[in-house]
Chain A
Amino acid sequence: MEIILSIGIGVFAASGVWLILRPRTYQVIIGLSLISYAVNLFIFAMAGGGLRVDAPPIIASGTAGDPSALADPIPQALVLTAIVIGFAMTALFLVVLLAARGRTGTDHVDGREPER
């Protein structure tokens, strides 16, 4: 479980960083999305007590609450917030990307094609 998750985070982050360093705006936005996936998974991995499988999120009726048997709710709340914010920011950046394409006539991140 741990190894799969960490490989997943690593692949997402590495591809994201590579794409962010590319010169085209579309590559940058995909890179940013991939990095935000990596970060969201990473938050889960840092949950209190480490990664857990089959831990219920809420207390079943009639049982006394044992916090150690339950899933840590805070990372879930954090990830949810981070997803919403990341989504909004990606949409906002997409608008800027289109505006830049329209204004400069190129999709290069510097607003002009490099001289060859």
Chain B
Amino acid sequence: MTGTTTPLVEHLAILPVLLPLAVGAFMLLFDERRRLFKMVLSLATVLALLIIAITLIVMVNMPSGDRWSTIFVYPLGNWPPPFGIVLVVDRLAAMMLLLTALLGSATLLFALARWHKAGPRFYTLFLLLLTGLNGAFLTGDLFNLFVFFEILLAASYGLVLHGSGTARVRAGLHYIPINLVASSLFLIGVAVIYGVTGTLNMADLSRIVPTLDGQARVLMEAGAAVLGIAFLVKAGMWPLSFWLPTTYAAACAPIAAMFAIMTKVGVYVILRLFLLCFGDEAGASEEFGALWLYYGGMATIAFGAIGVLASQSMQRLGGYAVLVSSGTLLAAIGTGNSAVISGALYYMATSTLAISAYFLLVELIERGQAAGADVLAVTLEIFGDPEEDIEDEDEEVGVAIPATIAVLGGAFVACTALLAGLPPLSGFIAKFAMLSALINEAGDIPASHWAFVVLLMLSGLGTLIAMTRNGIRTLWVPAENEIPRVRAIEAIPVAGLLFLCAAMTVAGGPTMRYMEATAQILYWPREYAREVLGSGPTSPGRSQTTHPITGGTP
């Protein structure tokens, strides 16, 4: 904490958790039929979260003292860490908060057009999901992380089933047990780590891990591996990811769009814990599990790319695109190179936004079509369209493309460019940043890095082929299908998400610098630990505007 923060500002760190939780609980008191009231209240909450996230990002970006970045530590109940639970806002957490708030506002706006009526208590569940996500990003304590994971999972179980229907219930029947088992693994990992180190505070862990030796170190690594499996199930690493495409395809559009960030929670936690506990300063345990992440990530990219090519429905394609994205991130983390990781952080932001926009867009495009039309479209391509020969070509000439289709088509092209990593949008910059960092490494480039480069390229190509094929078959068909009726409130979120990706391209320099600084901080676990553990409790009344920092400054 810096001397310049006022007590009021300090409380901003808890608001992203407290606000949606309180509003969500408050809305349960009112009847389901008071939709307008709930709509306004939830929308206002999400917008407030957006403002808080932007404020926090500005604040962590400010230099404090001799450092060019600030880490806010919020001791809950004012118990000093490591005895009390802390919330920590650093650059990475602030970035993830902003991403969550952006996705939350876009998908909520989209849902308010019609999907919110599809089932009961949508607003509360949605806000609880945001609570869990924000909490997982903010917490500096392993067990607290478990609690927030459970909150977001519980909300997601409800949201997967939102809108009901056999397909969703069936998907939920697989999604829920898999995550319950993953939660059990999470607890086992936490228990082992606590048994070995005697602490659950992440910053404290980063101090203790290098001092472990012999049996204790082996146990710690075993615990971390069990914990890692729990997160990798969430992140969707192959072979722990077979539940993901089915679930995402079954969930209704705004929920699938919001779930785009749920795999990133797993990636975030791995990034944070891996670099804190097994970073460069971890002694004998240095880079423990890096190879697993690297090769597992690459297998996930390959599996996702094949899945993208093989998907017949557009939602499933989105599900596999999620896998490609998280595989890329995991492999990038596995390289242990801070330049690659800064590219990966940029990629995380852009791919999350793009996948979210894609899920929303697919629902709009498919609205005018009969169920299963997209499956038919792909099979037609293989087996030939029997009606194609009879078509009277003269009539087709000069048929204007309806405006709605043109807009949707344009958005689809943007999504394709983003997901495949083509210029001019930010997907290209992200991939370019990672590739150039991989190739520009000092010394000989190992063969495994070339494999990663080739896989990245091939997965982009696969995505491009699959999405172009899908786009042609669904958007360029003669207008015998009903033209989808799209309301402005549904088009705005899609346009907004794509606009953000475009903005990330235009402001590529500053964004990339932010990511680079974020990646660098992640490589200084000692600094992080000093910030978190060094901040003593403030006075109970929080009346002081400044307070002495014990051991906070070098």
Contact = CB atoms under 8 A, between A and B. Distances in A.
B433 to A, nearest CB: 39
Contacts of A45: 191, 195
A71 interface: no
B173 to A, nearest CB: 5
Contacts of A104: 166, 169-170
Interface in A58-116: 74-75, 78, 81-82, 85, 88-89, 92-93, 96-97, 99-100, 103-104, 109-111
A52 to B, nearest CB: 13
A97 B181 contact: no
A78 B144 CA distance: 10
B77 to A, nearest CB: 14
Contacts, number: 90
DSSP class of B's interface residues: helix, strand, loop or mixed?
helix
A43 B143 CA distance: 12
B187 A82 contact: yes
Interface in B155-172: 157-158, 161, 164, 166, 169-170, 172
Contact of A75 (B174, B180, B191): B191
Contact of B195 (A36, A47, A81, A111): A47
Contact of A88 (B154, B172, B176, B187): B154
Contacts of B164: 99
A96 B187 contact: no
A58 to B, nearest CB: 17
B169 A103 contact: yes
A39 B487 CA distance: 49
B200 A93 contact: no
B187 A111 contact: no
A97 B146 CA distance: 24
Interface in A4-55: 20, 25, 28, 32, 35-36, 38-39, 42-43, 45-48
B170 A48 contact: no
A41 to B, nearest CB: 10
B148 to A, nearest CB: 11
Contacts of B183: 85, 89
11 contacts: A20-B177, A28-B177, A36-B184, A43-B190, A48-B195, A81-B146, A92-B154, A96-B173, A96-B176, A104-B169, A111-B173
Q: Which 6 A-B pairs have the closest CB atoms?
A: A46-B195, A111-B170, A46-B191, A43-B191, A103-B166, A100-B169
Interface of A: 20, 25, 28, 32, 35-36, 38-39, 42-43, 45-48, 74-75, 78, 81-82, 85, 88-89, 92-93, 96-97, 99-100, 103-104, 109-111
Given A32-B177, A82-B187, 8 more contacts: A20-B181, A47-B195, A48-B195, A78-B143, A85-B150, A93-B177, A96-B161, A111-B173
